[in-house]
Structure 1
Amino acid sequence: MHQNRLFNRTRLQLAAWYAGVMGAILGVCGVAVYLHLAETHFEAIAGEIQTLVGSLHDSIEPMLEKPGELHPRVRQILPGLCVGGQLCRPVKTSHIHVLGADYQDPYYVRFTNLSFQTLATVNTPPPPDSAAQGKNWQILTDEKGRRYHQFSMVLTTSAGQPWGYIQVGRSLSGYQRYLASLKVFLLIGLPIAMVSIGGASWWLAGLAMQPVYNSYRQIQQFTADAAHELRTPLAAIQATVETTLGTENLNLIEAQTTLQTITRQNQRLAQLVQDLLMLSRMDLKVLPTKHQNCCLDDLLHDLVEEFAAFAISAKVSLELSIQAQDLYVVGDEEQLYRLVMNLITNAIQYSYPGGTVMLRLLKEDSTAIIQVEDTGVGIETAEQARIFDRFYRVNQDRSRQTGGAGLGLAIAQAIVELHKGSLKVQSQFGKGSIFTLRLPLKT
């Protein structure tokens, strides 16, 4: 297949389609996973901020007495609290542990009055966004370009009067690093995955194309062999006709001889076409079959009687041994007749003069066994696996002399498969062969 441009191009197209579709699916899934993880992580950050704001709100609000004024006890909860314009040092995140927050990213806390003027802070918050004031959630950016996620909540005094707002924000640096690592993973992982998918697609396309290629090769071989077999009798007919036409004063005997030659070649052509048609129908599973009870004893007796004259002319002894009586199988009697006939024909044709062809009928459990044994030329071990191939002949010259096209055993094998049986060969080169046919008995 690697040397066939048509199949290589088709395989490449299939692989490209496989890789393209799988790459698109993988890309969409990668983007979907990225967005999902980003959203989930962002929601987790928001949940942490909201939890911290709620804890601070519940702890500080009971201490608030006057709007816009922080009670000194608030410093006990937030030790790093910086009131007004005082110069304050950054507070470690660990100072907020008492409120249930323990995170690597820095938090800040900002208290504002009702006009959103800063009253006190913990750590250094980014400048407020005047356009987004009044919103619960905000994304703020400091002078260095660092982004923060902030949540605001209203504070009231112990008397229920509006006091101002508490704003808690968290740096998004860790979140951005997390997204950056995801992007790097996808940017590196997706190309590697695409290369792997491309290789797998090429391999899968090869697997998918292999049966098609095998069928294509079989059709090519079948067509070439059929053309070769048809050419021989056609060439003989053409040569006979041309010779006859070139003969002056053709007498009756010469004309009859010519017609007999043409008739023989025509019969060979007709038989070859019939065999090819039969094999084609068997391949398509459209060969009409008449399933009936077939008595193998009677079938073998009829075949021995029919081939007795042929065996005598070939100087071969044809013998029959029935070791089990009244064996019936369900199948097409004509096809079974053709099956055993092909085996007997081969055995006689490939036996030496003075040899013996033995037919045996046996029974083994629920299986009928027919053996056709000859004392002929035998088959070399290397060729035994190919004798059931179409148009294959062990001895090309001998087969042509007997008129064979190399289809007999192929037809026999096809008939055996239709009847759910098996056909095996045992052979020793120079000593003969045994063909063993197994068919399921009628239950």
Structure 2
Amino acid sequence: MNQNKLFRLTRIRLALYYAIVMGLILSISAFGFYRAVFHAHVVALDSEIESVGGTLHDSIELKLQSPGDLKPLAHQLFPNLDNCGIQATNCIQKHPHSKRHLLGIVTKTSYYIRFFDISGKLVANAGYYPKGLPDVFDPKIWQFLKDSKGKDYHQITLALHTQNYQDWGYMQVGRSLQEFNHYLDSVKLILVLGLLVAMGMIAGASWWLSALAMQPIYQSYRQIQQFTADAAHELRTPLAATGATVESALLMSQLDEEEARDILQTIQRQNQRLTTLVVDLLMLARMDRQAQKLQYEICCVTDIVSDLIEEFEAIATAAGIKLTSLIQVNQPLNIIGNSDQLYRLFSNLIVNAIQYTPRGGEVTVFLDRNDYNAVIKVQDTGIGIPKHELTRIFDRFYRVSSDRSRNTGGSGLGLAIVQAIVLAHQGNLNVQSELGKGSTFTVQLPLDVTPLKSDRFTRPLLRIWYRRRGT
């Protein structure tokens, strides 16, 4: 229960961290996008105002005769021009529906024009001049202004000169930012709504992804739990048998020599079982850490297989099973590896085949080669393995049939050791099985390609190369 709570809290934390990180990334991206859109529109707006102001400036300067005076040609350009006079403080358009200037630039409702003399006093305005706009002259080229209603405007200030190059004053061309602000508000709204929707999707995705991330951890934890339980069970069985034997011996008042020998033999068997189990566990642990320093050498697979066939022939005969070998090559097959581990590899496969083959069956060991590998097959006519179990038979302590393994005395580590040794030798392991008809385990190991008459320098270099491949 505590473990489930821990995994659930860990999943929540992972989902929360993922959502926070993705939320920050999306927020920064949205802000960056908004700033990019804002900057692009400001640049476009400045370019537009500058173009309008420049066109008006060039057209008006050609017709100005005296400083601070727009007469008489200004009315030809701006029929609705309001001459405010030197003392005026509030200028209003006189002819809002009359014909616009000849250039047709300020016909847009978003533009206005203001004229200031050299002293900075407002002389006149034209276009759609907003009410409440500050009349105080500011010499800055670019300005952002607000009218009495709080609406935003953006304007440019340009210096004017007369026909004889005297300073006339200044002209300010401004534009309403209402459309611009409305567009930016729409962009903000879309980004905020999109961010909220994205955060909702991220929350769901983070919960799902956290489950995927936790799944291998949870499976690993369950495997550790199962491994611990199986190891404890395997250790408990011989310990319990040894303890029971010792207790029964202690209850006897006297022990004759034959009874004492039987008790010692029982204890020896259980001790051997414990020793084998511990050695297997230590071997797997070392191979997992890749800390075991193996002595690689040239090993003749043909000799190893022949020795094992001879060694296990008596055991197979006692079990009523025919054990044979079929060597399909004419010359010995050599590989670079560790002879002790290779003996363990093939002996595990042969013993496994003998144990799970009924009396009267056959176990055949095939030895062949392809272009680059030695190929060893251990084929039996045993009970076979169900297809859904094939992917798990190499797991530690896993048994296809617990009762069957108990009868044979297996601990469930044999095939796990086989797989570890094959991987340590850069080989390949494959299994084919049909329930009720038998199984075939195929091992492929890289051949030693060193020429038989190589000099004494070439072979050590090849061994170093194989060692590096093994690490």
TM-score when scaled to structure 1?
Answer: 0.90
Alignment partner of 1:399 is 2:405: yes
What is the RMSD of the two structures over their aligned residues, measured on CA atoms? 2.6
Trace 1:279-428 onto structure 2 (pairs within 5 A): 279-324=284-329, 325-428=331-434
Change (3 A) 1:145 1:304: closer
Give, in angstroms, the shift of residue 355 of structure 1. Answer: 3.1
Give the whole-Å Cα distance in 2 for the aligned partners of 1:382 and 1:45. 69
Give the alignment partner of residue 110 of structure 1, picking from 108, 114, 136: 114
Which 10-residue stretch deviates more, 303-312 or 388-397? 388-397
Give, in angstroms, the shift of residue 341 of structure 1. Answer: 0.4
One-letter amino acid of the structure 1 residue matched with residue 194 of structure 2: G
Give, in angstroms, the shift of residue 21 of structure 1. Answer: 1.8
Q: Residue 76 of structure 2 contacts residue 102 of structure 2 at CA under 8 Å; is this kept in 1?
A: no
User: Which residue pairs with 1:435 in the alignment?
Assistant: 441
Q: Residue 368 of structure 2 contacts residue 375 of structure 2 at CA under 8 Å; is this kept in 1?
A: yes
Change (3 A) 1:154 1:363: closer
Give the whole-Å Cα distance in 2 for the aligned partners of 1:241 and 1:86. 118
Give the alignment partner of residue 222 of structure 1, picking from 227, 238, 255: 227
Give the whole-Å Cα distance in 1 for the aligned partners of 2:268 and 2:41. 90
Give, in angstroms, the shift of residue 277 of structure 1. Answer: 1.2
One-letter amino acid of the structure 2 residue matched with residue 150 of structure 1: Q
Alignment partner of 1:260 is 2:265: yes
Change (3 A) 1:128 1:246: same
User: Which residue pairs with 2:58 in the alignment?
Assistant: 58
Change (3 A) 1:24 1:104: farther
Q: Residue 121 of structure 2 contacts residue 137 of structure 2 at CA under 8 Å; is this kept in 1?
A: no
Give the whole-Å Cα distance in 2 for the aligned partners of 1:220 and 1:257. 37
Deviations 1:152-204 (A, max 9, x none): 22323223333232222111111211221122122211111222233333343
User: Which residue pairs with 2:48 in the alignment?
Assistant: 48
Q: Residue 105 of structure 1 contacts residue 174 of structure 1 at CA under 8 Å; is this kept in 2?
A: no
Q: How many aligned residue pairs are there?
A: 439
Give the whole-Å Cα distance in 2 for the aligned partners of 1:365 and 1:134. 88
Give, in angstroms, the shift of residue 14 of structure 1. Answer: 1.8
Give the whole-Å Cα distance in 2 for the aligned partners of 1:114 and 1:308. 119
In structure 1, runs of 5+ residues without a counterpart are none
Q: Residue 90 of structure 1 contacts residue 122 of structure 1 at CA under 8 Å; is this kept in 2?
A: no
* SS, match of residue 168 in structure 2: strand
Deviations 1:184-230 (A, max 9, x none): 12221111122223333334333433332332222122111111111
One-letter amino acid of the structure 2 residue matched with residue 107 of structure 1: Y
User: Which residue pairs with 1:24 in the alignment?
Assistant: 24
Deviations 1:108-158 (A, max 9, x none): 112233344433321334445355544433333333332222222232322
One-letter amino acid of the structure 1 residue matched with residue 258 of structure 2: I
Trace 1:118-133 onto structure 2 (pairs within 5 A): 118-123=122-127, 124-129=129-134, 133=138
Deviations 1:322-367 (A, max 9, x none): 2213111221111111111011111222233333322221223333
Deviations 1:285-327 (A, max 9, x none): 2233222221122111211222132223223332222221311
* SS, match of residue 385 in structure 1: coil
User: Which residue pairs with 1:180 in the alignment?
Assistant: 185
Deviations 1:363-411 (A, max 9, x none): 2333322222233333334433333222223343343233211211221
One-letter amino acid of the structure 2 residue matched with residue 190 of structure 1: L
One-letter amino acid of the structure 2 residue matched with residue 396 of structure 1: S
Change (3 A) 1:211 1:285: farther
One-letter amino acid of the structure 2 residue matched with residue 288 of structure 1: K
Give, in angstroms, the shift of residue 96 of structure 1. Answer: 6.0
Deviations 1:69-128 (A, max 9, x none): 223322332343233478613369x946826x4885521112233344433321334445
Give the whole-Å Cα distance in 2 for the aligned partners of 1:361 and 1:103. 97
Trace 1:242-281 onto structure 2 (pairs within 5 A): 242-281=247-286
Give the whole-Å Cα distance in 1 for the aligned partners of 2:131 and 2:120. 14
Change (3 A) 1:298 1:187: same
User: Which residue pairs with 1:196 in the alignment?
Assistant: 201
Give the whole-Å Cα distance in 1 for the aligned partners of 2:362 and 2:215. 44
Change (3 A) 1:188 1:102: farther
Alignment partner of 1:34 is 2:38: no
* SS, match of residue 397 in structure 1: helix
Give, in angstroms, the shift of residue 56 of structure 1. Answer: 1.7
One-letter amino acid of the structure 1 residue matched with residue 444 of structure 2: R
Give the whole-Å Cα distance in 1 for the aligned partners of 2:387 and 2:176. 81
One-letter amino acid of the structure 1 residue matched with residue 30 of structure 2: G
Change (3 A) 1:29 1:322: closer
Which 10-residue stretch deviates more, 364-373 or 318-327? 364-373
Give the whole-Å Cα distance in 2 for the aligned partners of 1:205 and 1:97. 69
* SS, match of residue 150 in structure 1: strand
Give, in angstroms, the shift of residue 58 of structure 1. Answer: 1.7
Which 10-residue stretch deviates more, 127-136 or 156-165? 127-136
**Percent of aligned positions that are identical:** 51
Change (3 A) 1:34 1:259: same
One-letter amino acid of the structure 2 residue matched with residue 275 of structure 1: D
Give, in angstroms, the shift of residue 53 of structure 1. Answer: 2.2
Change (3 A) 1:435 1:96: farther
In structure 2, runs of 5+ residues without a counterpart are 85-90, 450-471
User: Which residue pairs with 1:72 in the alignment?
Assistant: 72
Give, in angstroms, the shift of residue 265 of structure 1. Answer: 0.4
One-letter amino acid of the structure 2 residue matched with residue 429 of structure 1: L
